Amino acid sequence: MSHDHYSPEILASLAAVEQRISYRFKDITLLATALTHSSWANEHGLQHNERLEYLGDAVLELNISHEIYLRYPEQREGAMTRMRSRLVSEERLAEIAHDLDLGASLLMGKGEEAQGGRQRAALLADAVEALLGAVYLDGGHDEARAVVARLYETIWPSCLLPDKEKDYKTKLQEATQALLGTLPVYVQLDSRGPAHAKEFSIRLELSNGQQFLASGGSIKKAEQAAARMALDGLQAGTAAEPAFHGHPCTRTHFTS
């Protein structure tokens, strides 16, 4: 399939994904297919990403299993299996997709998009697997392993924790339900910077009038930063006084 099947906007979006994963495709249609949801494929008569997802699932499991084997020679099979399960879970892959802002580059039908498809965890996780399958077909095992290593480079330190500590968003949700009887609201404001190093801004709103502004290298990081600020405010006993707070979140992104 030639580039003529894709608009300049789609090609620019694909190039941005290449920058974020630090890999340039020889065959860009493999990347396009990896990011093509069945709803968009059906509307345009093109191939969707389910076959690449199947392949990428195996690529991911093999490379994560290999890395666990090398990193943790003292671990027994059961512990290694549990570790791998956490690392390749839908939740983890969706987090990786959020960090890559992969949802913005997905090709999907209008109906699926209207139903929130770009934020759906299962769909995002599938796209990450399909992306790895595409890299494997385009560049071989070594390139796929390198991409997996880059995507997981900041994740390894926490993968041995038996029970993942509740994140700030979860803690804030529990606190606001108990203290205010409502849930926090996260509003995405804007994004700045080049495609491979975007900075996202988030406003967190509480029902008592407090607002917290934070930014980060992904929507998830910005939300976590805002939630942490809100927790600090609640714990300091300032929940009754409406206020607006701003705090930058350190930007992190994948590099080669």
pLDDT in tens, 69-97: 998 888 889 888 988 998 999 989 999 99
Q: What is the mean pLDDT of residues 177-193?
A: 87
User: Which pLDDT value is given to residue 241?
Assistant: 37
Q: What is the mean pLDDT of residues 224-233?
A: 88
Active site residues: 57, 129
Q: Which residues pair with 212 in a beta bridge?
A: 204, 245
Per-residue confidence band for 6, with pLDDT thresholds at 50, 70 and 90: confident
Q: Do 237 and 122 fall within a single domain?
A: no
- Model confidence at 222: pLDDT above 80: yes
Residue range(s) defining the domain that contains residue 95: 3-158
Q: Do 38 and 56 fall within a single domain?
A: yes
Q: Do 71 and 117 fall within a single domain?
A: yes
The total of structural domains in the chain comes to 2
pLDDT tens-digit series, residues 26-85: 999 999 999 988 776 766 677 888 999 999 999 999 999 999 999 888 888 988 898 899
User: Which pLDDT value is given to residue 194?
Assistant: 74
Q: Do 231 and 203 fall within a single domain?
A: yes
- Model confidence at 253: pLDDT above 60: no
Global pTM value: 0.61
Q: Do 172 and 217 fall within a single domain?
A: yes
Structural domain includes residue 132: yes
- Model confidence at 103: pLDDT above 50: yes
Structural domain includes residue 63: yes
